[in-house]
Amino acid sequence: MKMRMKMLLIVLIITCIVSLPIVTTYANEKPILPKYIEIGLYFGSSAKSVVHLKSSAGFIGGIYKDDIFQNMLTLIDFEEIILRKDSYYIESEGNFVEYTGNIKETGSLNIQGPYHIQVGDPFESAIEAQTFLEALEIPEDLYLAYEAGEWKVFAGFYIDEATAKEKADQVKNTIGINSYVITPSKDRVQVLDGDGNGIFVFNSKDEVYIQAFHDKGEEPLINLEGRNFRGAITAKRMVENDMAIVNRLLLEEYLYGVVPKEMSPSWPLEALKAQAVAARGFAITSMTKFQDKGFNLCNTVNSQVYGGYDIEHPNTSRAVDETKGKIITHNGVPITPFYHSNSGGRTENSENIWSSSLEYIRGKEDEYSLDAPNSSWSVVLNKAEIENILIKNQIDVGKLIDIKIIEASPNGRVLEMLVQGTKGEEILKKQKSRFVFGLRSSCFTIQNGGETDAIAMQASSTPQSVNLQGINVITSTGVKKLNSTTNINIYNGKSYNSKKIDKDIFIFNGQGFGHGLGMSQYGAKRMAEMNYTYEDILSFYYTNIKVE
């Protein structure tokens, strides 16, 4: 049965003021924030060939031109639509799955393909194309196409060029209108109804966005693969061929879905406000991070964790609202306010974690982060485990001989760590020492299994941990050398501590969780509990800044 799309209402292009530039600009020394932001939800290894969108109120589709949304299609009678790349699909239990087998061997399989036919010539407007479509009398499913600013009428999802050519000839012979074969495109996206009938196709380079129709009284939400999102959704074809799925929404509404993922909504309001301001600043100063992929930030820890509408909480939304537009500046310029879970008692200078020296990211004593989760921790690894970890990280030093810290920052974080083995040695610098071993921070010391927390010192020296392996001690039966099988009791003047020497283990004793730059989230929590304001918190963790 020919698809007439009777439920598809084509709307004249009406200018709706719903967008402002997403590029951050500054004038008169006062920061102007972007109103909208684009977040990559699926891309790279998580890119999609097919996604399902749902909205109880239906959808609208359009483009942003000169930063203004132009409504092109209103699909109010479709509660579910499918976005999929221009490819081959097989229907399986009501779902369409990309087919990657040999097309010549499909047999009786119900395959839809990426070949189409264009009926007639292009039109300047959607309403002209729709009027033409409605007047056609041919036995093919018809739908609109928008590519390079032109509207066209397409038909079919054919599996090869020969089949499409045959259909095009039939159309021309039947109604006397020229029809053309449309070959597969690495930029094309198909829009179908829930039953797999074509509604619309577009070139992803034209950046067509789908929004939930805004019915009075309800928040316009799009359900994407079971998760609800504010704003608009688009699919952008990637070099790798699949689709990056992108959520475009208001910056402030984006923060509604970020703050509760980065900080518990049960924490004090002033801590949540500090987090909201930090998250806002991080977003606006990182707008070009994923520019090559067609969006601003991603929804993971590689940017800021973003959970969409479902994760929103009244407490964190209040924190966003009560700090609306507030950011942190240094000498009038917005900063990138890095933050982390727990400093372990001291924050760090930026150059000791990465390479750039930032005047507003300076290490300092942080008593507010003590006595909190991960303020201190220990990890015990034996030589075999360490050797396996090194190999997994493409570091082959042979059999492990020793690990030791060569240099640490004044704030206690590792700058250089030496790994010695039978085949050579490797120096791990800064954060690499943490990431290779999966440690919670780079603020740690290394204790060999033969060392003890007891200390020894000479009158002219500083206290040092004692490595008991191979030490000669005087006992009641004479001089005895300690080895890895020796159990000893260490007396510190108050109590005895049992110690077994094991030269094959290394103990990483650390403090904090995260890179240690900028605001400690647990420190912010403690400061808020002590009645500090969010401005106080931010001014403590960032140096010479203003909140404005």
Contacts of 22 (CB under 8 A, 6+ apart): 34, 35, 36, 37, 38, 287, 296
CB atoms within 10 A of CB 219: 11
Total length of the chain: 548
Nearest to 42 by CA among 275, 280, 290, 357: 290
Cα angle 338, 521, 251; round to 5: 55
Map residue 485 onto helix, strand or coil. Answer: coil
Q: Same domain, yes or no, for 360 and 473?
A: no
Map residue 246 onto helix, strand or coil. Answer: strand
Domain membership of residue 285 (yes or no) is no
Report how many domains make up the chain: 3
Q: Same domain, yes or no, for 397 and 433?
A: yes
Which of 135, 150, 184 is a domain's end point?
184
Q: Same domain, yes or no, for 435 and 451?
A: yes
What is the end-to-end Cα distance of the chain in Å, rounded? 62
Which of 145, 169, 184 is a domain's end point?
184
Q: Same domain, yes or no, for 355 and 391?
A: no
Q: Same domain, yes or no, for 118 and 103?
A: yes
Please name the amino acid found at residue 134: E
CB atoms within 10 A of CB 218: 11
**What's residue 481's pLDDT?**
53
Report the C-alpha gap between 188 and 86 in whole angstroms: 6
**What's residue 96's pLDDT?**
84
Please name the amino acid found at residue 412: G
Domain membership of residue 462 (yes or no) is yes
Q: Same domain, yes or no, for 118 and 174?
A: yes
Domain membership of residue 33 (yes or no) is no
Q: Same domain, yes or no, for 356 and 443?
A: no
Torsion of CA 512, 515, 521, 524, to 10 degrees: 90
CB atoms within 10 A of CB 374: 18
Domain membership of residue 223 (yes or no) is no
CATH code assigned at 145: 3.30.70.1070
**What's residue 63's pLDDT?**
87
Q: Same domain, yes or no, for 411 and 486?
A: yes
Helix (H) or strand (E) holding 182: strand 179-182
Please name the amino acid found at residue 462: T
State the pTM of this model. 0.84
Beta bridge partners of 208: 63
Question: Does residue 203 contact residue 151 with C-beta atoms inside 8 Å?
Answer: no
Domain membership of residue 414 (yes or no) is yes
Question: Does residue 234 contact residue 116 with C-beta atoms inside 8 Å?
Answer: no
Question: Does residue 89 contact residue 99 with C-beta atoms inside 8 Å?
Answer: yes
Q: Same domain, yes or no, for 366 and 383?
A: no
Domain membership of residue 8 (yes or no) is no
Domain membership of residue 14 (yes or no) is no
**What's residue 510's pLDDT?**
98
Contacts of 384 (CB under 8 A, 6+ apart): none
Q: Same domain, yes or no, for 381 and 500?
A: yes
Which of 184, 211, 227 is a domain's end point?
184
**What's residue 209's pLDDT?**
96
In tens digits, the chain (548 residues) has pLDDT values of 344 444 454 443 333 333 333 434 444 456 789 999 999 999 999 999 999 999 999 999 998 877 777 899 889 999 999 999 999 999 877 788 999 888 877 766 788 999 999 999 999 999 999 999 999 988 888 999 999 889 999 999 999 999 999 999 999 999 999 999 999 999 999 999 988 899 999 999 999 999 999 877 788 999 999 999 999 999 999 987 899 999 999 999 999 999 999 999 999 999 999 999 999 999 999 999 999 999 999 999 999 999 999 999 999 999 999 999 999 999 999 999 999 999 999 999 999 999 999 999 999 999 999 999 999 999 999 999 999 999 999 999 999 999 999 999 999 999 999 999 999 999 999 999 999 999 999 999 999 875 555 444 444 444 445 555 555 555 555 545 555 545 555 555 555 455 555 679 999 999 999 999 999 999 999 999 999 999 999 999 999 999 99
Q: Same domain, yes or no, for 368 and 456?
A: no
Helix (H) or strand (E) holding 390: helix 383-392
Residue 469's domain spans which residues?
A: 377-510
How far are the Cα atoms of 71, 133, 136, 147 from residue 12, in angstroms, in the given order?
8, 16, 21, 17
Q: Same domain, yes or no, for 368 and 399?
A: no
Helix (H) or strand (E) holding 281: helix 269-284
Token readout for 449 is 């299994």
For tokens 């074509």, what's the residue? 198
Domain membership of residue 281 (yes or no) is no
**What's residue 405's pLDDT?**
98
